[in-house]
Amino acid sequence: MKPLDKNAAAALLLDQFSKASCVLVGQSAVSNPALVKALVQWLNGEDKLLAQRAAWVVGLLGDHHADLFLPYMDQLLKAIRKPHHDAVARNIVRLWQFIDLKDPYLGEVFEVCFKLLSSAHQAVAIRAFSATVCGKICVKYPELANELKSMIPVWSQSESPAMKVRLRELSKQLEKLS
């Protein structure tokens, strides 16, 4: 099958949305940098439905091709600050778990993820992915670990079992950095 262009990908996501369509768009994006750029633009675009659906593709691509998004860190940060839908924030943070984050962005990504992790109003998946990203950044900058360590007991008091497990794993990871 011929790889999809930007217009065909948008039409597929809007008209025939499914995991299979997301996988197909993702496979096309791997060999088409213009489509990767379009996916990121859609996250910030006016069409909220397209942003939500493009986010799933971004999340899927992040599992194996996260570095495709390195040139778009500024746009990803913009999208996560004002996401159209939880799916946008969830899949950007999911992507950041697997991307080799570079120094110019580490502070900003840590700040965003710390804020998401601290918000009881965020979905559990967003908070769990944020915990992983914060822990990953602490490996590069152990001086940030104390900020996280001090909050883990507070966050753990009123969390779901899944989130408590993620926070316990984060706590163990941070202890190894000491």
In the prediction, which pLDDT does 112 show? 98
Model confidence at 81, in pLDDT bands (50, 70, 90)? very high
Helix (H) or strand (E) holding 104: helix 103-118
pLDDT for residue 158 is more than 80: no
Average model confidence (pLDDT) across the chain: 94
Contact 26, 63 (CB under 8 A): no
Predicted confidence (pLDDT) per residue in 31-51, tens digit: 999 999 999 999 999 999 999
State percent of the chain over pLDDT 90. Answer: 87
Do the Cβ atoms of 135 and 173 come closer than 8 Å?
yes
* Cα 49 to Cα 71: distance, rounded to the nearest angstrom: 24
Q: Is residue 54 over pLDDT 90?
A: yes
**pLDDT of 2 over the 80 cut:** no
Q: How confident is the model at residue 65 (pLDDT cuts 50, 70, 90)?
A: very high
pLDDT band for position 177 (cuts 50, 70, 90): confident
- Whole-model pTM: value is 0.94
Distances (CA, A) of 77 to 27, 87, 105, 121: 24, 14, 9, 20
Query: DSSP string of 25-56?
Result: HHHHHHT-HHHHHHHHHHHHSS-HHHHHHHHH
* Residue 160 vs residue 28, higher pLDDT: 28
Rounded to an integer, what distance in angstroms lies between the CA atom of residue 4 and that of residue 167? 40
- pLDDT score of 1: 63
The count of C-alpha atoms lying within 13 angstroms of the C-alpha of 11, restricted to the half-sphere facing its C-beta, is: 5
Two tokens at 166? Answer: 């993620």
Query: Tell me: the pLDDT tens digits for 12-34?
Result: 999 999 999 999 999 999 999 99
The model's confidence at residue 84, banded by pLDDT at 50, 70 and 90, is confident
Whether the pLDDT of residue 63 is over 90: the answer is yes
